[in-house]
Amino acid sequence: MRAAARPEITPLDEEQRKRVHRVLRRRGAACPHCGNRRRWTVGDALHLGFLFLDEDEDAYMIAVTCRRRGCPRPRTGIIVHRADVLEP
């Protein structure tokens, strides 16, 4: 596992990234800018539960980038629960 550039960021390993891809498919996620549903690059996680009072304690924002060529705004994110992605 690589070191995070910022201490509040939780790096994800390959298995965790695969779990995020499964969550994206299960939710039918689509890029809000171009409609892509299949090609994503999954980044790292940010724990939201302690930052925002209206989020669950175990909420994480996962960075997601649309890989469709020509997407005007490819960066977005998905909120997941810790058990969905970070725990085996």
* Neighbouring residues of 11: CB distance < 8 A, sequence distance ≥ 6: 1, 2, 3, 4, 44, 45
pLDDT digits (tens, 9 = 90+) for 28-85: 999 999 999 999 999 999 988 766 666 777 889 999 999 999 999 999 999 999 899 9
Say if 3 falls within a structural domain: no
Domain carrying residue 72: 9-85
Say if 2 falls within a structural domain: no
The Cβ of residue 59 has, within 10 Å, a number of other Cβ atoms equal to: 18
DSSP character for 3?
Answer: P
pTM greater than 0.85:
no
Count of the separate structural domains present in the chain = 1
